[in-house]
């Protein structure tokens, strides 16, 4: 019985991930999760206590926003200069969102709803990235008068917004967000901004 419960629990949690990938966060509900998992919705109440418990279980299970992409979009030699390290830091965010549609849906979810799942998923990502950024910044002194943390926050927010926007619109300011060429332009722009700020 315990094994059956564990298997069913995992099946339901996996169903939440599939719904997010296919239809976005607005489709997440007791009925849709039960249908996707092929189980009676009574089991969701029994095993998770309801929708909030299911969402929290999904958040505990997923580490999407904290994962490192297996294969970067753009391979470079190990960066040494501060500006190269910071550029690589931001391009890592591009890689993660570009390769993982689920991460994009979680970002969109976080923009529209504040719940246990989005807090857990995005907070762990923010904590990880801030820790990495502080570690990098401790290795060099930014130019006087430059608030590097604020600049990095703006650039990361821009990256996140543009990826969330691709859910509904494929173009922004004349840049085709559905093409590799469009994202390559944005990568170069990030590199130019960081290098000019640090140089």
Mean pLDDT of 6-22: 89
CA 169 to chain centre: 18
Report percent pLDDT > 70 for the chain: 87
Are 16 and 100 a contacting pair, CB within 8 Å? no
Superfamily per CATH, domain 2-61: Homeodomain-like (1.10.10.60)
> At CA 168, angle to CA 165 and CA 169, rounded to 5?
70
The domain segmentation of the chain, as residue ranges, is: 2-61, 65-198
Both structure tokens of 96: 């993660």
Q: What is the pTM of this model?
A: 0.68
DSSP character at residue 25: G
Report percent pLDDT > 90 for the chain: 25
Question: What confidence tens digit (pLDDT) does each residue in 151-162 have?
Answer: 888 998 898 888
CA distance 58 to 39: 17
The answer to which of 11-15, 92-96, 108-112, 118-122 has the lowest mean pLDDT is 118-122
> At CA 162, angle to CA 158 and CA 167, rounded to 5?
150
Both structure tokens of 35: 């249908």
């Amino acid at each position: 019985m315990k094994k059956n419960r564990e298997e069913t629990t995992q099946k339901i949690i996996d169903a939440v991930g599939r719904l997010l990938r296919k239809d976005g966060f607005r489709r997440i509900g007791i009925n849709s999760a039960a249908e996707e998992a092929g189980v009676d919705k009574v089991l969701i109440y029994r095993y998770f206590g309801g929708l909030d418990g299911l969402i929290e279980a999904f958040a505990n299970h997923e580490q999407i926003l904290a994962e490192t992409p297996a294969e970067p979009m753009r391979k470079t030699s190990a960066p040494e200069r501060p500006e190269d390290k910071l550029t690589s830091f931001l391009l890592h965010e591009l890689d993660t969102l570009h390769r993982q549609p689920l991460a994009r849906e979680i970002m969109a979810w976080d923009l529209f709803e504040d719940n246990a799942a989005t807090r857990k998923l995005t907070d762990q990502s923010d904590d990880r990235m801030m820790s990495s950024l502080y570690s990098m910044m401790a290795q060099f002194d930014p130019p006087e008068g430059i608030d590097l943390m604020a600049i990095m926050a703006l650039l990361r927010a821009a990256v996140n917004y543009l990826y969330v926007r691709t859910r509904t619109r494929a173009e922004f300011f004349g840049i085709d967000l559905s093409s590799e060429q469009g994202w390559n332009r944005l990568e170069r722009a990030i590199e130019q901004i960081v290098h000019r700020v640090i140089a």
